[in-house]
Every structure is written in C-alpha cells, then in structure tokens.
Structure 1
Amino acid sequence: MALVKEFEHLKISLDMIKLATNSFGSDHFIGVGGFGKVYKGEIPERDGRPITVAIKQLDRNTDKVDMSFSDEADEKILVYKYELNGSLEKYLNSNTLTCVQRLKICVGAARGLEYLLNPLETQQRVLHRDVKSANVLLDQFWEAKVSDFGLSRLGPTNQEFLFLVSNVVGTPGTVILFMRKQES
C-alpha cells in the first residue's frame, strides 16, 4: 500500500511490532476489535522512551480496510497509543461518568473530528467513515481520542464542497455523510 508521503514518518516496522507483541503472543492479547485481534505492547518513541500501544492485527482476508500503519509481508496493522480508560463504549450504560465528563468527552471527540476534516498544514483531510463510541478512546484524564482509522479515506482540502460516495462501510447504523463548505 502506498502511503501518502506526509504520513511516511509514522510507519512502524513489522519487526518492531512483532517485538512489542512477542510475535502476537497470547500473553499480549487484550481483545478483538472490528476486523482483527488487538494486542498490547511497548515501542520506543522518537526520544527513545517506551510508549504503551494497542496494536490491531487485521484479518488477512479483509478487503474493507483502506488505511494501515504497517503493511509489510501481507500484514495490515493499526497502532494506537494505549489509553488507560479504554473506549467510550464501555461507559455509555454505566453511572461511572458524570454529565460534565460526558459533555467534555463529546466536545473532545468533536474537536478531533474537526481537526481531521480541516487540517491546517496539509492538503489532505481524513474522512473517518466509522465514527462510533467504540472508536473514541479515553486517556487517564478522560480526554477523548478519535481512533481506528482502518476504514478512513483521504480527501483533498482544496474543494469548496466535499462529497464522499462509496460502498457502505463501517458499523451498521453509523453511516455519516460529511459535506462542508470551506470558509473563505
């Protein structure tokens, strides 16, 4: 898969991913997500300090994933910073979060999506295509982080209107059409 040059610096080698997960060993397995298994591991940041990550090894037979973080040796892998509080999905039907926390999470997720649609320093916008509570991760401070870009598409920012028409992808019930007029 040809990565956009702007994102090439984010690519992680398959060898590093295998090292972080003990070759996708059961001792690092933490769950199953859409299209694959998820593992926990540590990789070095640019400054050499370790960072805990969640690594989704996508099913080899899936043809629905358009973007990946590593795509060596027929592996398609997404890597995320591991967020201590997991996904928003597990808190929606509980009393764990106050109304103020829920509002803060909603605003944070909306800001993340706004950032993806209106990049400041790039000529590409990211169309997520699978926005749902399971794809909003919560850090140790309950800050929202939009995640799981496996179904995302890149679109240009130099058009007044953007329409994305494609085959239906993502989770049933979460189909969203983005149309936004560029501000002058």
Structure 2
Amino acid sequence: MATTIAKFAHLQIPLEDVVKATNNFHHDNVIGRGGLGNVYKGQLQRSGELITISALRLDRKHGGGFVEFWTEVSMLSDLKHPNIVSIVGFCDEQHEKIIVTTYEAKNGSLKEHLSNPNLTWTQRLKISVGVARALSYLHYDESRGYGVIHRNVNSSTVLLDENWEPKLSGFKVSIKQSLNRMDQVVLSEPIGTIGYVDPEIEKSKGVTCKSDIYAFGVVLFEILCGRRAYIRNDANRLLAPLVMQHYENDTLPDIIHPDLKNQMSGYQISVRSLRTYSETAYSCLKEERSHRPHMLSIVNKLEKALEKALRFQPRPQNFVRSFLAFLFFFTPLS
C-alpha cells in the first residue's frame, strides 16, 4: 500500500470496499468522465450505514494526477459547507488513487440544465446564490485560518442535488492562501476551462480570488442566457465578450434565455430582480481585477435579486409597463 499522508489517515477506505461499492468499477456505473479519470456511482457501507457515493478513479494509463489527487483530498477534508461536496474518504492502495464523495449530482451538473425550459428564474437565482455562498466561504471563512482560490469554477463543477441545491466540486487545482492576501497574486499558469479563465492571468502571471469572481460572472451569464461559456463552432463561441458587448449596448435582452422572456410575459419574473442580477454578473467580468466586486458583496446582491423575484407579484394592469421595461431593460421603472 502506498504511503498515506498521516493527516488524512482517518479518511482511508480499503480498495476492496470501493470495488464492491462500484461493482468492480462496472461501466454501467460510470456517471462522469473528467481529465483525471472516470467517476462511478456506488453504494458504500460506512459506519453501519449504506450511503450513495461518487468515486473518482484516477486513470492509471496516463499517469500523473498525484498532485491533483492530494490537493482535492486536502481541500475537501477541511471544507464543510452545504453548497460544497462532502468527502467520504479516499483510497491510495495497489497503484489505485480514488476520491470518494457523497453522491450530490442527482440532477447532474448545471452545465446539463442551462437551456432546460423547466428550470425557472427563481430556481436559477437560488443556484446562483448557493454557488456565491460557497465561494464566499472559500474566500473568507476565518475558522480554517486560510482562504481558498478555487481556480476551476464553471457550470460543470456545479452539481445539483435532488432539490436543485448547488454543490461546488472540482478542487483538484485549488490553492490555499492567507486570508489577508487573497487579493494578492499567486504565481500560476493559466489553468482552467476555456471561456472561464481570468484574462488578467496572462498579464499578472498569476491568480487572485478575483479570478474566481471572473469565472463566476461567466457562470451567472450562462444561467441567464441558457448557453455554455464556450461553443466551439459558433460565431460567438465565447460567451463573456458577447454579453459584455450586449450589456454595454443595452441589448442584453436579445440574448437572454427565451424561456425567461416567456416567464416575463406571464408575470412570473421581476424586472428589478433581473436588473440587479445582470448588473452583478457584469461587474464580475470587469477586465481589471480591482474593479471586480468581492464575494461578500456579490452574495448580498444576488440574495436581494432572489428576494425581489420571490415577492414580485405584478398586477395584471401593470403588464404593459412591466413588459416594456423588460424590453428596454435598463430603463428604470417609475
């Protein structure tokens, strides 16, 4: 058995238990494929209880992944938040490296539901608020004694449970940083997913917590526009510059998800909520990091947008004014 870092010994799970839980890594149990390997669903006996788990099995064919494996184990062992995936344990045995977490993705990832016509504006807002709270916890929680820069925020790393609550995952390239240095650059290669990478990384040669802010801004616009951050063969393959252009030209409604427009025409959505949300998302994409807000401010604004959406009940006679306000979008309601 490979040498196990003593700090995490209590999280060690015997290989035979993981093999049994996943039916010997049967292909029918594969629920995801990532850069490090396949993710399997299974049933694991733990402390006398049968729990449903996800098991990320590092692909031995390509080698590597050692640093990413221990980074994820280290991060998840310290992180406890309702909007972050929970670690069950890991296996480091017989050349196998497996990270086991509770099965959070009963509704898949956010990426799979961006264009889902049944995902309401209120649900989209709740997902946004949940991810914002997770990032705020990463950046500012003092109980750990350090902050975390995620570095891989995207709609694939946001998992959705049976109640559509988001669970942030994908900590394999995360970085620990002193709480009082979260705005200072940590030297880093531009690691990340196309469409979400902070454009300031190339200039500064590193990341700060504001790099997570940029990526989260892209996710917010994915949620609003119902499309992915990057579409390979599309004329507007990158979402970020597209939404910046439309926002600055007051034409953002042209690219908002059509089902959200339909909700507007059916009195189900607050123009003020939509405006607060879009202003917040836009501020996250500012080119200069110093102009981007911090997560505490973003959480506050998104919670206000959600509150406005939940309490908004327009009277039928106000339909014309509400709908016109939606079309022009940035014109304040009287």
Q: Flag the structure with higher helix content.
A: 2
Report deviation, 1:104: 0.5
Q: Distance in 2 between matches of 1:127 and 1:12?
A: 28
Structure-1-length-normalised TM-score: 0.81
The letter of the residue matching 1:81 is: T
Contact 1:78 1:150 in 2 (8 A): no
Report deviation, 1:2: 6.9
Structure 1 residue aligned with 2:33: 32
The letter of the residue matching 2:187 is: V
Q: Distance in 2 between matches of 1:169 and 1:120?
A: 26
| CA gap 1:131/1:179 in 2 versus in 1, 3 angstroms | closer
Structure 2 residue aligned with 1:59: 59
Contact 1:136 1:147 in 2 (8 A): yes
Please give the per-residue CA displacement for 1:56-79, whole angstroms capped at 9, x wherever unaligned. Answer: 112232447252443613333232
Q: Distance in 2 between matches of 1:8 and 1:117?
A: 27
Q: Distance in 2 between matches of 1:127 and 1:141?
A: 27
The letter of the residue matching 2:107 is: N
Structure 1 residue aligned with 2:45: 44
Contact 1:105 1:143 in 2 (8 A): yes
Flag structure 1 segments of 5+ consecutive residues without an equivalent.
none
Please give the per-residue CA displacement for 1:94-142, whole angstroms capped at 9, x wherever unaligned. Answer: 2120011001101101111111222332123332211110110111111
1:140 pairs with one of 159, 162, 174: 162
Greater RCO (Cα-Cα under 8 Å, separation 6 or more) = 1
The answer as to 2:136 corresponding to 1:114 is yes
Please give the per-residue CA displacement for 1:162-182, whole angstroms capped at 9, x wherever unaligned. Answer: 42221222312222443478x
SS at match of 2:115: coil
The letter of the residue matching 1:89 is: K
Flag structure 2 segments of 5+ consecutive residues without an equivalent.
74-89, 199-206, 211-293, 297-334
